[in-house]
């Protein structure tokens, strides 16, 4: 509706931040449905590990871009 393009590359990911709360709530509701064979704690640990990995990858990209700008 707004015409803002959502991209998942480092410098262009700022519009995607506004969707993080809604996606986190959706993931929290989907854990019992999707991971019904795994215990809840293991499912949550898996999602936390994936989030940590994504955050670390973003941090490395930011660091590299910062070095390039200097």
Q: Are 66 and 58 in contact (CB under 8 A)?
A: no
| pLDDT beyond 80 at 49 | yes
| pLDDT beyond 80 at 61 | yes
Q: Name residue, tokens 């898996």.
A: 46
Mean of pLDDT values over 59-67: 87
pTM over 0.75? The answer is no
Collapsing DSSP to helix, strand or coil, 9 comes out as: coil
In angstroms, the Cα distances linking 8 to 39, 43, 51, 54 are 31, 24, 14, 11
Using pLDDT thresholds of 50, 70 and 90, give the confidence band for residue 1.
low
For position 26, what pLDDT does the model report? Answer: 84
Distance CA 25, CA 49 (A): 17
């Amino acid at each position: 509706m707004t015409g803002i393009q959502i991209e998942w590359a480092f410098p262009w990911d700022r519009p995607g931040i506004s969707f993080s709360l809604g996606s986190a709530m959706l993931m929290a509701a989907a854990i019992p449905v999707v991971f019904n064979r795994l215990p809840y704690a293991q499912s949550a640990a898996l999602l936390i590990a994936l989030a940590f990995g994504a955050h670390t990858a973003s941090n490395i990209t930011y660091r590299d871009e910062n070095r390039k700008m200097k």
